A and B are shown apart, each in its own frame.
Chain A
Amino acid sequence: MENFVLQVENLVKRYADVEAVRGVSFAVKEGEVFGLLGPNGAGKTTTIEILEGLRTLDSGKVSVCGLDPQRNSEQLKNEIGAALQSTSLPDKLRTFEALRLFASFYSRRRNPEELLRRFGLEDKRDTFYSKLSGGQKQRLALAMALVNDPRVLFLDEPTAGLDPQVRREIYDIIEELKREKKTIVMTTHYIEEAERLCDRVAIVDHGKVIAMGTPRELKERSGDKTRIEVRLARQESELALRGLDGVSDCRNFNGGYVLHCQRPPQAIVALVKHLEAQGNELVSLEIATPSLEDVFIELTGRRLRD
């Protein structure tokens, strides 16, 4: 039997008439970085907040560090750390004071000075929270999530709304935690984030897990096919494009066509020849290497950020 530190079975959560989570199940091993990937409104935050003990569940079974988040809420909160989707602190609280205050809530705690150093916030030690930049606030949120040296760390959209450079800084921090074998459960709607940071990913849509596995396994599921997105001067028959040499599938997508190919060079040559024969023209062509986005498109017919 595998050593699961977190287990979710058939989790259901309703808000009035809306079923936000519809039977989600997954398990996370000790030392693993597990990602919930899906568009906004897919039920990722609701799931993670039930695991953190912030929300009650309607049905299903949840266990974190062997504890029930509803019944053993206080015990559980000693074992976990969390960076919420948007962390808010009082404007007039200084960086170091925030770390010291939150550390004081736990019996097992890390040295706030060391966390300041590690998260590059030493020179912001006495800065009011309201004066920190978005990236600094997020680094502080991550540092605060680690004050109790948690067994499981929950990160809800850790880089949402941050510019690309700051996002990469946060990735570096999470990768460092990954090297330390910290168990992390994170939600994201960024493909790059899930591929780069997660050992395993559950793709979530409309409150359900629609695929789960390592990023590699998921990509293999879509046959490791390269995606070619084309726009044409005139409409073409999908059937004709699907029949081209090297093309395994074709879909009409956002006014253009997405071709899934196992041999991209042959497919492009065949496409150009076909268009010439039809008197049609190629307006644009984009080649994308296989990503989790393809898996999502394949499963839902939508882009992740539609």
Chain B
Amino acid sequence: MRILLTLRNKMFLFFSVIMPFGFFFLYAGVFAKGNPEAIRYFLGPVVSLAVMGSFWGLSAALVSFREQGILRRFHVTPVTAGDMLASSIVANYVLTLPTVAAELFFARFIFHVRDFGDFLSFFAFVTVGVVSFASMGLVVASVTNTMQETQVLNQLIWLPLIFLSGATMPLPFLPKLAQHFGVFLPATYLVWGLQGATFFSLPVWKLWEEALALLVWAILTFFVSTQLFRWEPESKIPRNAKLWAVATALPFALLGIWENRTGNILLQSQAAYMSIDRQDKSGRPPNQPDAPSKHQRNRGPFQ
């Protein structure tokens, strides 16, 4: 039912269909200049935008349902907060999959990308990405009272997520300070996870840090959103809610500190970017790009 309702919403058409496809053709046609290998490089960022977009719609829908008193009607049924939130995430997942599939389809048949890397790994990151970012949307809905507040908070979260994570601009392009900040963002690990899967064909167990961090974050944000869930429009945000919401940033705060010390993810992004850049300058596609070696993974960034 949530899927049907979402499909009947014109805003959905923009955020979940037009915007991701717009980004896809912008990246594939303009940035990658139609080069299949460069498009393969950009698949990670462009798919991550579609995956992350889930948090917008979900937070807005939940807050508007609460504001209009729709959630109250559900509250007199045996449906629990967990049921309500889990069904929202499942609906979001089902709606994101066709967009992602269409992007792969266009990449294959319009831009002739032949190798999509490790598909299982890619699918795992899409799944954990949708669940975790949708759960973050649910937390946003829990700590805001009105649609306006939700939109402001969404903007504040969305902009750093897309600009400092490598989703819109490769990480090595960013100033060093921004790169060091970027590793505190969950989006960075999603972008890299998807890029690792598609571009370096890395199986999910070789991207275990990224996958595990996103998974732990998904569980934590979902748990927090069930604790903070409010059915009634007039019910107040619990005093400790903001503290709980901030606590969801903990896994990536720790990971960010670790990554800033080791520099793994920044190094990997740079290796991926340089591989594309080399190919662009030589004018011919490279062979299978080299996955960063264990040695490289342990060196600091840009050393």
Interface residues of A (CB under 8 A from B): 52-54, 74, 77-78, 80, 82, 84, 86-90, 92-93, 97, 101-102, 105-106, 144
Contacts and interface: CB of A to CB of B under 8 A. Distances in A.
A97 B1 contact: yes
B76 interface: yes
Contacts of B242: none
Contacts of A54: 72, 75-76, 231-232
The 7 closest A-B pairs by CB, nearest first: A92-B8, A88-B69, A82-B76, A105-B77, A77-B78, A88-B68, A88-B70
A102 B232 CA distance: 19
B9 interface: yes
A105 B70 CA distance: 15
B5 interface: yes
Contacts of B75: 54
Nearest to B70: A88
A160 to B, nearest CB: 15
Given A88-B68, A88-B69, A88-B70, A93 B5 contact: yes
Interface in B208-262: 231-232
A74 B5 contact: no
A90 B12 CA distance: 15
Contacts of B1: 93, 97, 101
Given A97-B1, A97-B4, A101-B1, A89 B73 contact: yes
A84 B75 CA distance: 11
A90 B77 CA distance: 16
Nearest to A141: B73
B155 interface: no
Given A54-B75, A54-B232, 5 more contacts: A54-B72, A77-B77, A86-B69, A88-B72, A105-B79
Interface residues of B, number: 19
Most buried by B among A84, A87, A89, A90: A90
Interface of B: 1, 4-5, 8-9, 65, 68-70, 72-73, 75-80, 231-232
Chain B binding surface SS class: loop
Nearest to B232: A54
A84 B73 CA distance: 7
A80 B76 contact: yes
A53 B73 CA distance: 12
Contacts of A90: 5, 65, 70
B65 A74 contact: no
A90 B231 CA distance: 15
A53 B231 CA distance: 12
A78 B72 contact: no
A89 B73 CA distance: 8
A87 B80 contact: no
Nearest to A15: B234
Nearest to A106: B78
A250 B5 CA distance: 61
A106 B65 CA distance: 21
Nearest to B69: A88
A120 to B, nearest CB: 21
A102 B4 CA distance: 15
A101 B68 CA distance: 18
22 contacts: A52-B76, A53-B76, A74-B80, A77-B77, A82-B76, A84-B69, A84-B72, A84-B76, A86-B69, A87-B73, A88-B73, A89-B73, A90-B65, A92-B5, A92-B9, A93-B5, A101-B1, A105-B77, A105-B78, A105-B79, A106-B77, A106-B78
A18 to B, nearest CB: 14
Most buried by A among B4, B9, B231: B4
